[in-house]
A and B are shown apart, each in its own frame.
Chain A
């Protein structure tokens, strides 16, 4: 009996098998170690379902820029915040609750969605994320905003659909997160995931 792998298909299956093996190994690695400073196991990951709006184009359309909450910085001194773990931060007091991170995407990319990730067990406050552009001359525009909802735990909320085209010549873009008035870990900002369309190829990343 002949082997199942045909001679003229040897290269592709080997490449595919290698990628699958790498993915499986990476997946296994994701489940065993939680040694990052401040991180601790929080139970199994709750990944979003495959049918959410910003995933409809699948691998052939949208690309993603995912910024965890721990890489944001406060607007100014006066912020009091702590690292909760798993990429999430929360306010502990202070007078500044706004945090920012630059959105660096190739000019011509079209931003479609912002998904907010949070831990929300607060009845009195919420995390709010904004997609904001600045012209450097004193004007800014908050194109969309999305609030977290009190789900008694981890939650993700999708902002309204956008059609914003990145223009690095004219303006900058930030994600701004307002950590709310709850000054404890019952309200955490865990990041945002931006879904965008770009037909440009960046071999060396975006920064």
Chain B
């Protein structure tokens, strides 16, 4: 015979088991930094995109740091968790946006708890024939744990997929974590 007290106890045990399963799944992706889950989002023009009027830039492409690949076989890449990585050399990924899109800037996500050095953010184009150019080259400045920082392009870049390829590249000092980039752009 199950009493109300028994049912309540069973419910508590089931809830505890559920939490345990969730914790196991989360730890599969690595542990988060204990006691530092507050993310400081430095203000930037990109934050207004969601409320921008029709015709203004309001599109985003968010790529996690763990989706970037190493450019050499000699560098070391470590995965602390939560989509963040550290690498001893630059990591990169291609940027595919519609023809004619206007790139406004990039918000970089990282973890820096008063460590030396910074996280570098690059937006680079290649023509396939040896030509390259950095359209954006900025270093992170915040040292408050998890943070994001927006880097605005002085002049918006109009995407031309016929003429060149576009890549995002990051490099970082030891003990820093690169957690991703969010491209702020205006779709055609």
Q: Which residues of A contact B (CB under 8 A)?
A: 19, 22-23, 25-26, 29-39, 42-47, 55, 59, 63-68, 70-74, 79-83, 85-89, 92, 94, 101, 104, 117, 119, 153-154, 156, 190-191, 193, 201-207
- Among B97, B99, B127, the one with the most A-chain Cβ atoms within 10 Å of its Cβ is B127
Chain B residues near A79 (CB, 8 Å)? Answer: 73
In the bound complex, do residue A26 and residue B155 qualify as a contact, i.e. CB atoms below 8 Å apart? yes
In the bound complex, do residue A87 and residue B132 qualify as a contact, i.e. CB atoms below 8 Å apart? yes
Chain A residues near B69 (CB, 8 Å)? Answer: 71-73
Closest chain B CB from A201 CB (angstroms) = 8
Chain A residues near B92 (CB, 8 Å)? Answer: 70-71
Cross-interface CB contact of B98 among A23, A34, A80, A202, cutoff 8 Å: A202
Known: A39-B124, A63-B161, A204-B60. 6 other contacts (CB 8 A): A30-B133, A46-B127, A64-B162, A71-B92, A72-B69, A204-B61
Contact with A along B66-89 (1 / 0, CB 8 A): 000111111000000000000001
Closest chain B CB from A130 CB (angstroms) = 18
In the bound complex, do residue A39 and residue B132 qualify as a contact, i.e. CB atoms below 8 Å apart? yes
* CA gap between A32 and B132 in the complex, in Å: 10
Closest chain A CB from B178 CB (angstroms) = 13
* CA gap between A119 and B127 in the complex, in Å: 12
Judge if B113 is at the interface, Cβ distance under 8 Å.
no
Q: What would 29 A/B residue contacts be, using CB atoms closer than 8 Å?
A: A19-B158, A22-B155, A22-B157, A30-B131, A30-B164, A33-B134, A35-B137, A37-B171, A39-B134, A42-B132, A44-B131, A47-B127, A65-B96, A66-B94, A66-B165, A67-B94, A67-B165, A68-B126, A70-B167, A81-B73, A82-B74, A83-B90, A86-B127, A86-B130, A86-B131, A87-B167, A191-B126, A205-B61, A207-B61
